[in-house]
Amino acid sequence: MAGVRLEGVTKRFGSVTALDEVSFQVEDGEFFAILGPPGAGKTTTLRTIVGLETPDEGDVYLDDERVTDMWPGDRDISIVFQNLALYPDKSVYGNLAFPLVQQKVAKSEIKRRVQATAEMLHIDHLLERKPGKLSGGERQRVALGRAMVREPRAYLFDEPISALDALLRLEMRTELKRLQRDLGRTLVYVTHDQVEAMSMADRIAILREGVIQQIDLPEGIYHQPVNRFVATVVGSPPMNFIPCTVAASDGALRVQHPLFDVAVSAHDAVLRSPLSDGMPCLLGIRPEDVRVGAAGSDALPATVYVSEPLGGETVVDLQLGNRIVKALAPPTVKVAQDDEVRVSLDLSRLHLFTDAGDAVLSAAGADVFALRPTAR
């Protein structure tokens, strides 16, 4: 296996810049997810790695070998697309064996590797069947198996499970993660589903309109997003943003809201930030960090707008000032529409953004914010 590296890759289609100076390094054996909405350039990135697209600028490397101009067939990369294509007239065995037959691998070796791959994916009892006789999940396993039967330098998966139904997706998610970990192979995994990226990947690259926003561990993406876009892309329901105003004096920074006032420690990041007195800014707080029914001195008054029970947890939509803030509460919290409640924010999980959405400071567990309700 091999690491995959992109250096300053730009790809244009006519006047559209699909990829804009994209650089990242996938380590050998790493599960690397590229997450972004439709049209972000995820698939173009994969097509560039495999060689189906040639970058206008920049280079692609496998380990330290520059492969930018190499013919796709010579790159030795396996790719699985969302729309799986199996040979309908070949059995599962025939489908799995096909890439090896192409490579003129010895018959006994083909048999051994097909059997091993099929066992790994729990389809060894289906080897004689035709794809038409398989369920959607089984077909997807065969498609994955056909990529995995070879031992290429890297695997590229393009939304391989997004067409499956919800239950099957849950099952395949854990199975793929397990497989990748057990095999230790380099995998670049493209998805628009934040749950897939968060749950499976070692690291995640967030892509938006062809530009990499952040590359980080799942925890880093979640707790220290670099901007509002990244903060919104991961987490369900997404992060709340509360418009506030900056009050700065004598190097001390405070963030003011009609209901409360937050003192911000004189952190380097704050001192470097463009925030100045009177500027609008945003406080970001994830739903699970908003506590409903709090009692302490920092509790704020709110009204229940809607309560959404999900079974294992409840989303409580709160009217806080003139904004709706979503809280994720345990199912034991029972509130009804229009109830008056007290809420508190977990300040160790608070984020401060500029009005334009650039992150200034994420508490990420540290004690950098202090909140005081405004006397009314």
Interacting residue with other proteins among 95, 140, 191, 194 (CB under 8 A):
194
In angstroms, how far is the first alpha carbon of the chain from the final one? 64
Question: Binding of other proteins at residue 200 (CB under 8 A)?
Answer: yes
CA distance 239 to 326: 8
CB of 198 to other proteins, least distance (A): 5
Residues 213-232 touching other proteins, rule: CB under 8 A, are: 218-219, 222, 232
In terms of CB distance, is 222 or 369 closer to other proteins? 222
Interacting residue with other proteins among 83, 132, 166, 249 (CB under 8 A):
166
CB of 8 to other proteins, least distance (A): 29
311: DSSP letter: S
Question: Binding of other proteins at residue 180 (CB under 8 A)?
Answer: no
In terms of CB distance, is 73 or 365 closer to other proteins? 365
In terms of CB distance, is 155 or 222 closer to other proteins? 222
Binding mask 34-63 for other proteins (x = CB under 8 A): ---x--------------------------
Stretch of residues binding other proteins (CB under 8 A), selected from 111-119, 145-153, 258-266, 324-332:
324-332
Q: Phi, psi at residue 18, to the nearest 5°?
A: -80, -40
CB 324 within 8 A of CB 348: no
Question: Binding of other proteins at residue 103 (CB under 8 A)?
Answer: no
CB 28 within 8 A of CB 2: yes
- Which H or E run includes 260? strand 260-264
Amino acid at 202: D
- What would the two tokens of residue 326 be? 């979503």
CA distance 340 to 361: 31
- Which H or E run includes 119? helix 107-120
CA distance 345 to 72: 52
Residues 283-312 touching other proteins, rule: CB under 8 A, are: 286-288, 305-306, 308-312
CA distance 268 to 34: 30
Report the interface residues with other proteins, using CB under 8 A.
37, 165-167, 170-171, 173-174, 177-178, 181, 194-195, 198-200, 218-219, 222, 232, 234-238, 286-288, 305-306, 308-313, 315, 317, 324, 326, 328, 337
